Structures are given as structure tokens and as C-alpha cells.
Amino acid sequence: MHVKKPAKHRTVKLSGADLAFSLIVYTVAIIFLLLILYPIYFIIIASFSNPYAVSGGNVWFWPVGFTLDGYKELFKYGDIWTGYLNTIIYTALGTFIGLAVNIPAAYALSRKDLWGRRFLTFIFIFTMFFNGGLIPTYLTIQDFNLYNTIWVMVLPFSVSVYNILVARTFFDSSLPRDLWDAAQIDGCGNLRNFFGIVLPLSKAVIAVIALWTAVGQWNSYFNALIYLKDRQLYPLQLILRDILITNNVQSALGTGEAAQIALRLAALMRYSVIIVSTLPVMLMYPFVQKYFNQGVMIGAVKG
């Protein structure tokens, strides 16, 4: 029996122009990477450094005058744990409700047999550019008895037209029409098709929209500032804002050595607050990074 020899891999030799172009591309990419990563790294090392060394421009690549005073002072505030818990609840509920609202809406708009599909799409897009404004929204939230409740953080603003359009584009471009035709032959209706076929094949876009919704909910503070008055319901961002304002006021009103200490702690806490508020999201991002990249391409393929 004749045994075929495995084919040898051909080595492609790059010309001098190709090597020069690759060198330029990698150099530019590394420079942009450093420009993006260094500010994050600087905030981290500054949060562990002496604030006078930071303000004096002596902190570049590693902490100077290593200290944990900023974190110790920050975590003395008991409200920060309440804010953390509230933000976790708002993020989890908001993400779940956002997916439950936006994904079915996107699927419905992607169906060619939806009556009034163009008009409904126009209505959705119209709301991206025009809305009732703050005062009508405030009055509506009061009329629905949502003011100063946890639901005001997750229900009224759960619809994201941009997320709907991205998901609709995915359903249009990535799910073959033949799947729906075959499902209809087998007696599959719209609900069964959505839950049994569409959702299992749409993990990428679901993960992307979940990430976008979760990050937006985690960083949200304006809605809490307007619609919440009970401090026990404040999210983390609002608690951290109040802590920073309090420390800045104390440092401004103090005199002598006490003012210097308060000013030093306030400077340290600025960096500590950034780390505390962004660390959970930064830790979550690597797990959905591949879906995030795919989701960005989804939105760029077709409008």
C-alpha cells in the first residue's frame, strides 16, 4: 500500500518592503497600547504612593513612598459596602431585564413577516434622538410609584435602542432563513423557534449586550442622583462621590497640620476610588472579550 507523505509547509519569505511595513505596524500598535495602558497603570501605582511624590512628578514606573492609607481611609466608611451591594443588585437585575426586553424586541424587528416592521424600526430609532426630557420623565416615574425604589434603577431605562439594532443586525446576517423554514415544516412556532433555535445560536451577541448593559449599569450614577433620596439605596458610584466631596470640603475648611493631613488623604482617595469602582468590571471583561470583539464587528457589518 502506497503511503502518502505529509505535505511540507512552504516558508513564505517576506520582502524588505513587507518587513519594513510590518515593523512600522507593530511599532505603532505598541505605542498606542502603551498610551492606553499607562494611564491605568499610573492610577494603580499612584493609589499606593505618597501624594506629594505624585503631585511632584516623581511617580513614573513604581510606587514612591508605598502606603495603604488611601484604601484604609476609604473603607472606614460603612456606606461603601452598602453601595457595593446595591450596585451588584442593580447590575444583576438591570442586565437580566435589559436582555429580557432588548433581545426579543430585536428578534421581532428582524422578522421580515412582522407587520409594520419599518414603521416600528423608525419609532425605535426616533427615540435615540428625541425624548421627553428630564421633567416629564421625572413626573412619569413619580406617577408609576417608582421614585426612591430599587426599580427606578432597572426598569424605566432598560430599553436600549442601540443594543436592539445590534442584536437585530446579528439575527438578520448570522441566522440563515433556511433554519426558520425548516422549523416551520416541523411545526415550530415563533416562540419555540426563538427559545429553541435562535437563543442557543446567539450566545455571542447575548454576551456582548450583557456586557454593555452591565458596564452601563455599574457606572450609572445620574439616575440615582435624580430619582433616589434614601441613602440606603445609593449605588457605589454615588457613595464614592459623596465621600470625595466630604473629604475635599474637610481639607478646604481645615487649618494647619490637620488640613495638610486631610488634603493628603483626599488626594490618595481619588486614585483609590477609581480602583475600587472599576476593578470588578475590569476583572469581568476578559471572560467576554472574544464575544465583545465579535459584537463590535456585528454592528459594523450592516445597519
pLDDT single digits (tens) 76-88 = 777 888 888 999 9
| Buried/exposed 7-30: b ≥16 CB within 10 Å, e otherwise | eeeeeeeeeeeeeeeeeeeeeeee
Which grid coordinates are listed for 106? 430585536
CB 65, CB 50: distance < 8 Å: yes
**Alpha-carbon distance 211 to 293, whole Å?**
12
Quote the pLDDT of residue 90: 93
**Alpha-carbon distance 216 to 179, whole Å?**
34
In terms of residues, how long is the chain?
303
| CA distances to 81, 101, 193 from 90, in Å | 14, 16, 31
Quote the pLDDT of residue 288: 67
**Alpha-carbon distance 293 to 70, whole Å?**
35
Cα angle vertex 250, ends 242, 270, to 5°?
50
Q: Could you say which DSSP state residue 12 is in?
A: P
The string of DSSP codes covering 121-150 is HHHHHHHHH----HHHHHHHHHHTT-TTSG
Which grid coordinates are listed for 218? 455599574
- Other CB atoms closer than 10 Å to residue 96's CB: what's the count? 15
Using CB atoms within 10 Å of the CB of residue 266, give its burial: 0 to 12 exposed, 13 to 18 middle, 19+ buried: buried
**93-147 pLDDT, tens per residue?**
999 999 999 999 999 888 887 888 889 989 888 888 888 888 889 999 999 999 9
User: For the chain, which residues make up each domain, given as ranges?
Assistant: 16-67, 79-235+283-301
**Fold of domain 79-235+283-301:** MetI-like fold (1.10.3720)
Quote the pLDDT of residue 246: 74
Quote the pLDDT of residue 299: 47
Low-confidence ranges of the chain (pLDDT < 70): 1-14, 248, 250-262, 288-303
Quote the pLDDT of residue 9: 54
CB 92, CB 150: distance < 8 Å: no
CB 60, CB 120: distance < 8 Å: no
| Helix, coil or strand: residue 168 | helix
Can you say how many angstroms the Cα of residue 286 is from the centroid of all Cα atoms in its chain?
12
Quote the pLDDT of residue 252: 65
